[in-house]
Structure formats: C-alpha cells, structure tokens
C-alpha cells in the first residue's frame, strides 16, 4: 500500500506539478487549497505526510502546523513546509515546529527526495505545545 500525501497549495500550477510528481513516485495524493480544508482532512483521515505551503488564504500554513502540534492525535504528523520566502525567520519557525522545509521554486527531484526521506525517517516531531 502506498503512502498518502496531502498537498496544501493554493497556486494551481504548483499544485499540479506537485501532484503529478508524487503520483509518478507511486504515492496516493490528495490536494486542498487552504488551511481549513487541510484541517478537515486531518480530522477525517490523516495523511502519512503533508506538503504544506506557508502562504495560504485563511489559516496560513504555519498556523495549520501549530494547531496540529497542539492536538495529541496529530502532534507527530510528518510535514514538509514550502515557501517562496527563504528568510531565516520562516526556516527557524519550521524547525521549531518540527517540520522539513523546501524553498520555492524546488525541483521535482528535490521534492520527491524530501518526501521519501521524511517517510523513511523514524524521527517525528517532538514539539511540546506551550
């Protein structure tokens, strides 16, 4: 059985590229365009890993991660945060929240390798809610 990847991305062309890349790698891919829909997916059927954009309408990606980390059922969710903003601030936040990080634009090879590495890693987030 293949791993399920949730892609949370509001840019249609980026969503399509990510979905096609991960399907070609053999993953089952779900896609949503905002943070609220991502939270609904986690409530109904949590994915094995999530590729999550920071800049989303409504609830942004970092707030999605914060909410997941506060929920004991999803505290250890594997999440790869993506952003076009390569600032140290965003990287520090994602590190503090126990996420991997990809700066946009990223190559399809880099995406596939990051997802595979995250799924193979036994390490999960160990973030304690404040």
Digit-coded pLDDT (tens) for 37-59: 999 999 999 999 999 999 999 99
Considering the domain 4-120 in this protein, what is its CATH number? 3.40.50.2300
Half-sphere exposure of 125 (CA within 13 A, CB side): 26
Give CA–CA dist 118/126, Å, rounded: 14
Give CA–CA dist 91/54, Å, rounded: 11
Q: Which of 4, 7, 25 is nearest to 16 (CA)?
A: 7
Give CA–CA dist 22/4, Å, rounded: 10
Q: Write down the domain spans for the chain.
A: 4-120
Highest mean pLDDT among 16-30, 92-106, 110-124: 16-30
């Amino acid at each position: 059985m293949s791993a399920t990847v949730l892609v949370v991305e509001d840019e249609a062309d980026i969503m399509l590229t990510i979905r096609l890349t991960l399907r070609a790698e053999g993953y089952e891919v779900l896609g949503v365009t905002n943070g609220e829909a991502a939270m609904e997916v986690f409530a109904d059927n949590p994915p094995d890993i999530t590729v999550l954009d920071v800049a989303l309408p409504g609830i942004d990606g970092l707030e999605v991660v914060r909410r997941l980390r506060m929920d004991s059922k999803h505290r250890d969710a594997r999440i790869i945060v993506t952003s076009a903003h390569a600032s140290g601030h965003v990287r520090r936040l994602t590190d503090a929240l126990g996420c991997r990080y990809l700066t946009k634009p990223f190559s399809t090879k880099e995406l596939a390798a990051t997802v595979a590495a995250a799924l193979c890693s036994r390490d999960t987030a160990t973030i304690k809610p404040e």
